[in-house]
Structure 1
Amino acid sequence: MKIITIVGARPQFIKAAPVSRAVIEHNKAAGEQRIEEIILHSGQHFDEKMSEVFFKELNIPAPQYNLGVQGGSHGAMTGRMLERIEAVLLKENPDLVIVYGDTNTTLAGALAASKLNIKIAHIEAGLRSWNKQMPEEINRILTDHLSAFLFCPTVQAVENLKKEGIQKNVFHSGDVMFDAALLAASLSDKHNLILKKTGLQKGAYFLATLHRAENTDNEIRLKSILSALNELSVQKPVVLPIHPRTIKKIRAFGLESLTPNLKIIDPVSFLEMVALEKNAALILTDSGGVQKEAYFHGIPCITLRDETEWIETIETGWNILAGCDVNKILKACQKRSKGTPILEYGTGNASQKIINTLNP
């Protein structure tokens, strides 16, 4: 069986890692049922620490293809990806394409495969934020409706698909991000040097991440969030691994004066990020992946968005939606408390379940 795994954005590398490891384990005793996995990198994230380093750290195969599609509008980027992915699919003629999550890479991969009548497996299917102003929401919905196999991280995701009339080949697999978190936790200790490097101490800092277009491309929202983070830094240092888009927009809007007390650092590797997450007193983020990682590591989280696709983290008290309002963010930080952990996202074997389903 030949599979092409299509990735391109930081979270997808994390999600793909345990699945690629499951393929390797499967092949050790598979005989004639071996799986040939070809990894295709769209190039959507092109910073070394935001892409290639994941493969090195997690000891999984590097991409055989890197399409180098970077920048541009959503439509332009997706169009270039679609054209280049199609060329690879025509050359390789895979039995199946695997796509992850909700990025432009996800949608381009699904469209290219669908038009060539190649079956699609969507990992992290069924998530809904119910906000179609988010590009990611459109990507999720379209990809789900194109896919032949839908692997859902939660029961709620299965129900969301059912409401849209999708019931065939829908599987509650658990969350591959939880698989990745367990792996990363075992590997990240040697990356605790990031604390020393940044002058941080366990439990004595807040960690922030900020990258979504709805926040970074909107001057008012970005200004408000930066103001809140800067005010929080009076309580504890706020460390912000900066996303290329974010620093670009801060400079374009002339907002540098709002960040005098923030500890802004360059993008970090995945395992360094895990070390920062595990040792933080609190995490503030607009990232879906970081929301879950905070939950996995037992760290309270404030989400800098107006909605989230990970409603379980809200319902169990680990996560608070604060949007971009300064006062709401500060109040949420004051009332933060750890909720009750549940095994909503599986037991750490989602990747194995997925491979066993695709190649029984």
Structure 2
Amino acid sequence: MLKKYNFNPGPAMLPKKVLSKIKKEFLNWNNSGFSITEISHRSQGFIEKTMQIEKNLRFLLNIPENYYILFCHGGARGQFSAIPINFIKKSSFQPDYINSGYWSLCAAEESKKYCKPNILNVKQVTDTKKSYILPVSKWEISSRQAYLHYCPNETIEGIEIFEEPNFFEKIVIGDFSSTILSRVINIKKYGMIYACSQKNIGPAGITLVIIRDDLLKNTNRKSPSILDYQLLAQSQSMLNTPSVFSWYVAGLIFKWIISLGGLGVIEKINKKKSKLLYEYLNSTHFYTNKIFPENQSRMNVTFDLNENQLTDSFVKEAEKYGLYGLKGHSLVGGIRASIYNAMPIEGVRSLINFMKIFEKKFG
């Protein structure tokens, strides 16, 4: 049987061990006699499970005790609204929004409903149409006491910011949707980070928010209840019925990462996977990556075929080899290989082998 690999940008593939565990427990979770999809979020068994899930995540990311961990609704887009709603008390406030690509700009545009964002363009494009991100030291942030929002990994462009910000006078907020749990980060450098679940956390349905406790005391009390960080913290993320299944799978993902050795090990694996693919791209003139090496995403590897008319053929041919989800975003075209945590190195090697075959056939 042909081995299939899912290179979609999200929902992304899940680890086989996690899928096997889900299959085993699906009809009889925790020996309850019920499916996990039927379990009450208020049941003793599930509440105990959420406590262990939080403990495991706190261990993985080395989250200090003065940070709350929330499991919210609405995806990352929901947070684009929730952030200014919670932290902006006057429409004249001007928080800094770092524009490094599509998703960071989406967040900035959404914030305009509630404030006047100071949008800083940090992505540079050279004469050869290759892109890079300005070093953090060159970000011209404002002196105003408002938050700074940025997105360390842009999935559409395949560009990643590995340097962590050191703006201690600012509330730094990071959209880690596509890079969470892929590498070690220093939570203490952030007032808040958030991430949708359908990349490295599990299936869609929950949104992770990690927020420092002092920020909860200064949130806007007129926020809609479902977006109110203080209410969500007080209710242990159960202000209304959460996606129990997504929460449960997230817990399995956290345990899987711990079993591998934690984020240090995951980071090494991700470096190895992306290095294999980028090294091949550098060795050929048939495919072109347009990102400078220091900002090449480890999660989303983008490239073009030098003969663009072959792109659709590439995607269709790839599926015959068991490689799915490689079509680039409609805004930029080309090819995108999303190689999140669950993608085994064998999947990357299979992709490279196919790329060689395709190049030999059409190059």
Judge same fold: TM > 0.5, yes or no.
no
**Structure with more helix by fraction:** 1
Give the TM-score normalised by structure 1: 0.33
Give the TM-score normalised by structure 2: 0.33
Task: Tell me: higher relative CO, structure 1 or 2? Use CA pairs within 8 A at least 6 residues apart.
Answer: 2
User: Could you say which structure has the larger radius of gyration?
Assistant: 2
